[in-house]
């Protein structure tokens, strides 16, 4: 990657959806890019961002593995990272006892293990320089028990909590941590999670470009957290005062296999 006067942004999960839109915003706002995803489409996305004037390196890697994260980190070639947008993640539908555990573990390792490993590596560099921005994609799913999405919601509860704790630890270091907490968004998420026969899989969803803009702007302001969309904000308020058992049953209605329109 050429050494330029532009700051460098690392964006994970940048081949589609919210991650693609976040990377696009970075390119439009003066960042060069190091982007990653576990799909070959990351290379096509790189061409789109190059057309916006950014220098772009693309890494195809499984960020559920430490080796995949190491490959991405090495691709920066020591160049200071101005912004880390840790967005990679995926879900898995159906009842936990019916899931293939290898797939369930991949959700955990992508959403949690690989994410916080990358944040630690890049975050240490930022702290030593006394500057940097970290945006972590959490979810409003972290506020409620995820019946028929138990592992995914559990990972997002971890990420939401982790983000607030890390932000507090980095207070006064010059490094900001922002947690973007979207709701259901129009991406490949529900198809990849095998949830297209569910109510939430079939309902109208938020535009990923709108979600990304909310998150990017919050990161640039240095905000601690942001929930995208007024409906999602209302959901989080209700979740904070509703018993967990009731929330779990409400989630069942959205995510139970076959709950969508026939």
Catalytic residues: 152, 156
Note the maximum CA span of the chain. 56
What the block records as the tokens of 103 is: 């797939």
For tokens 């509703």, name the residue: 242
Distance of alpha carbon 128 from alpha carbon 105, whole angstroms: 33
Distance of alpha carbon 245 from alpha carbon 48, whole angstroms: 45
What the block records as the tokens of 32 is: 């060069």
Distance of alpha carbon 25 from alpha carbon 50, whole angstroms: 12
Please name the helix (run of DSSP H) or strand (run of DSSP E) that holds residue 26, with its range, or none: helix 17-28
Cβ atoms of 176 and 226 closer than 8 Å: no
Instruction: Collect all residues with Cβ–Cβ distance below 8 Å to 248 and sequence separation of at least 6.
Output: 144, 145, 147
Cβ atoms of 175 and 123 closer than 8 Å: yes
* Strand segments (E) across the chain: 8-12, 32-37, 56-60, 81-86, 132-137, 175-181, 225-227
């Amino acid at each position: 990657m050429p050494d330029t006067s532009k700051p460098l942004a690392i964006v994970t999960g940048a081949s589609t959806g919210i991650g693609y839109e976040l990377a696009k915003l970075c390119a439009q706002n003066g960042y060069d890019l190091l982007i990653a995803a576990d799909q070959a489409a990351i290379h096509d996305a790189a061409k789109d961002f190059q057309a916006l004037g950014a220098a772009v390196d693309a890494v195809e890697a499984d960020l559920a593995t430490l080796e995949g994260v190491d490959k991405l980190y090495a691709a920066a070639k020591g160049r200071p990272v101005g912004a880390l947008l840790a967005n990679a993640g995926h879900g898995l539908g159906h009842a936990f006892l019916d899931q293939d555990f290898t797939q369930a573990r991949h959700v955990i390792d992508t959403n949690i293990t690989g994410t916080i490993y990358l944040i630690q590596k890049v975050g240490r560099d930022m702290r030593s320089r006394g500057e940097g921005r970290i945006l972590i994609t959490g979810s409003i799913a972290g506020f409620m028990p995820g019946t028929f999405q138990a592992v995914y919601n559990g990972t997002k509860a971890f990420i939401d909590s982790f983000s607030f704790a890390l932000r507090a630890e980095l207070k006064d270091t010059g490094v900001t941590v922002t947690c973007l907490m979207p709701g259901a968004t129009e991406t490949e998420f529900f198809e990849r999670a095998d949830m297209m026969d569910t109510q939430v899989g079939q309902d109208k969803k938020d535009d990923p470009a709108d979600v990304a803009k909310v998150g990017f702007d919050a990161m640039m302001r240095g905000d601690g957290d942001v929930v995208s969309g007024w409906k999602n904000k209302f959901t989080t308020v209700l979740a904070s005062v509703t018993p967990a058992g009731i929330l779990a049953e409400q989630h069942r209605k959205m995510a139970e296999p076959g709950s969508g329109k026939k």
